[in-house]
Structure 1
Amino acid sequence: MKIRRLGVLDAEKYLEIRLKALRNNPEAFGSSYEEEKNRPVEVYRQRLASEESFTYGAFLDNQLVGTVTLVKETYIKFRHRANIVGMYVDPANRGSGIGRILLIEAIKKAKSIGVIEQLNLSVVTTNEPAKKLYTSLGFDVFGTEKRALKLDELTYLDEHHMVLFL
Structure 2
Amino acid sequence: MQIKRLCPQDAGAYYTIRLEALTMNPEAFAASFLEEKRQSAEKYSERFQGDDSVTFGAFDESGLIGTITLIPEKLMKLKHRASIVAMYVKPEKRGNGVAKQLMGAVIQMAGSLEGIEQIHLTVVSSNSAAIRLYSSFGFKTYGIEKNALKIDGTYFDEELMVLFLS
| TM-score normalised according to structure 1 size | 0.98
The residue aligned with 1:44 is: 44
Equivalenced residues, count: 165
Aligned partner of residue 144 in structure 2, secondary structure? strand
Query: Matched residues in 1 for 2:62 and 2:90: separation?
Result: 14
Runs ≥4 residues deviating over 4 A: none
Query: Matched residues in 2 for 1:30 and 1:50: separation?
Result: 22
Query: Matched residues in 2 for 1:111 and 1:46: separation?
Result: 25
Matched AA of 2:33 = Y
**Alignment identity in percent?**
49
1:82-121 equivalent positions in 2, closer than 5 A: 82-121=82-121
Query: Matched residues in 2 for 1:99 and 1:140: separation?
Result: 18
CA RMSD, Structure 1 to Structure 2 (Å): 0.7
Aligned partner of residue 108 in structure 2, secondary structure? helix
The residue aligned with 1:3 is: 3
Query: Matched residues in 2 for 1:83 and 1:22: separation?
Result: 19
Query: Matched residues in 2 for 1:66 and 1:28: separation?
Result: 14
The residue aligned with 1:64 is: 64
Offset of 1:114 from its aligned partner? 2.1
Matched AA of 2:159 = H
The residue aligned with 1:32 is: 32
Offset of 1:46 from its aligned partner? 1.5
Aligned partner of residue 30 in structure 2, secondary structure? coil
Task: Structure 2: give runs of 5+ residues left out of the alignment.
Answer: none
The residue aligned with 2:159 is: 160
| TM-score normalised according to structure 2 size | 0.98
